[in-house]
Structure 1
């Protein structure tokens, strides 16, 4: 009579293992703690901050190629996916990378963009679709940072996202409700850089609905550093609410080599121990309006200069 119980125990154990991140990064880690537990063996800056990339997949690059070029395994990898209709979301832009992400051991920053529907159309059914896509990663042991409707304060201006801040907060909480019990999934709130700190507050879903905070910004001066770019936002959201702070997308405008190297050094080599909530940074390794890359397609001298910032 013990055999059925043993089989049941085995199944339950397998299900538990499937839901737990294979290489936990922020999952189960205390925010704003200097104790690096759990430890992740992925790429770091010389200052100890975890490091990852936004690969230029539309132009043929991928995270495996970046890892080969740097000689390091990325700690995070970022991909974008659009919800193109209120009738459903299949997440194919993310799922096509599932096997590769799993193989790298990196955490996935999943930027899910509600382009084809308004915030008001983010229903529990849409949220369930998002959760289903997330589970396909977490069931394979991949930690997922769900960056839903990132840069919401920017994308509403040209109409890429449709709705206002009140509707965004409702949509965010709907998605949060759908994924909050998924082992290995963390909700990542990430506005775009705003001129003044008060402009973020209307988009804030509330600390109980957010696991990670961050902000996208592209440096334009060689004097840029973490304090003068992110300091106020860090204090207002990461430190105040005891949240992990992650930079999921950054580079420089313009794509001047000296400017790139200056900003890269400020993030990966400068002493940032005064900001214990800061855990991870991801470089925008793409060609768009500028060539933001510091590794792929760059000259050997530029690449070697970039890699001096990592250990």
Structure 2
């Protein structure tokens, strides 16, 4: 679980002394840092660690539940040895793409728990991000169902994983226009360990407060939950914009937000080139790394 000096303090998340169990790479402001590697293009967390000269605190991987008949988690398990060797906490984003929320039964939840246990049995902490960006993916048609069905599915996942030492449930909607739009998707504080929100910024003046402040106050501070950024970068892929956002999260003073613990950067080249390390010029990479200790 999230640790401080080797002691389990998951029950006290909004404390600046309460840090991730995989306390490796961090910003000059003390926020722990990791990466979503471009595994579909063969990029590993070890390669990113080599490029940065630092061990990532978190590694984000994605997996789809492709059928209501079961989940084998191969997209995660294919990287188990790599994650273990890295020493990072795994942020496992499990997406119910091939079934509806109402089909996430206790049996499916048990399958998810079995996959998680294969990591935790190896001493790997898992932040389980079930059905992330649910408020966006339902509108896009990727997930099927409504918020009531989502909350039932979430609670099935919670029931299956709540006794797994080293597993924390991570609720992370997509950015919404107004704060009230998150509430229908909130499973309830008894079922969530970590909160966060996916967002890609487009202005160099963005700060933690302007982007996450309201959400943080409502769900992290408001419910005494850990806050982590599970997925972020910039649109467009302008270098000055990237550097401004990395700096805002890794080197600006965020002492006013003691629940805020970590950032996992979307280090992929997809519709945009979101990367700040891999395949960047030396000057750009050095500018990025100047934000870290």
TM class by shorter-chain length? over 0.9
Contact 2:4-2:19 at 8 Å conserved across structures: no
Q: Any idea what SS the aligned residue of 2:280 has? A: coil
Which sections of structure 2, spanning at least 5 residues, go unmatched? none
Contact 1:188-1:213 at 8 Å conserved across structures: yes
Q: For the pair shown, which has the larger CA radius of gyration, 1 or 2? A: 1
Question: Which residue of structure 1 aligns with residue 198 of structure 2?
Answer: 216
Deviations 1:136-162 (A, max 9, x none): 000000000000000000000121000
- Where do residues 1-311 of structure 1 align in structure 2 (5 Å cutoff)? 28-29=9-10, 30-36=12-18, 40-311=22-293
Deviations 1:177-212 (A, max 9, x none): 000000000000000000000000000000000000
Deviations 1:69-115 (A, max 9, x none): 00000000000000000000000000011011111111000000000
**CA spacing shift, 1:178–1:109, aligned 2, 3 Å:** same
Q: Any idea what SS the aligned residue of 1:298 has? A: coil
2-structure distance, mates of 1:107, 1:179: 17
Deviations 1:275-295 (A, max 9, x none): 000001000000111000000
Contact 2:4-2:17 at 8 Å conserved across structures: no
Q: Any idea what SS the aligned residue of 1:236 has? A: helix
Greater percentage in strand: 2
Contact 2:173-2:198 at 8 Å conserved across structures: yes
Contact 1:54-1:79 at 8 Å conserved across structures: yes
**CA spacing shift, 1:227–1:37, aligned 2, 3 Å:** closer
Taking only aligned residues, the RMSD between alpha carbons, in angstroms, comes to 1.8
Contact 1:27-1:184 at 8 Å conserved across structures: no
Count residues in correspondence. 292
Which runs of structure 1 show a deviation greater than 6 angstroms over 4 or more consecutive aligned residues? 20-26
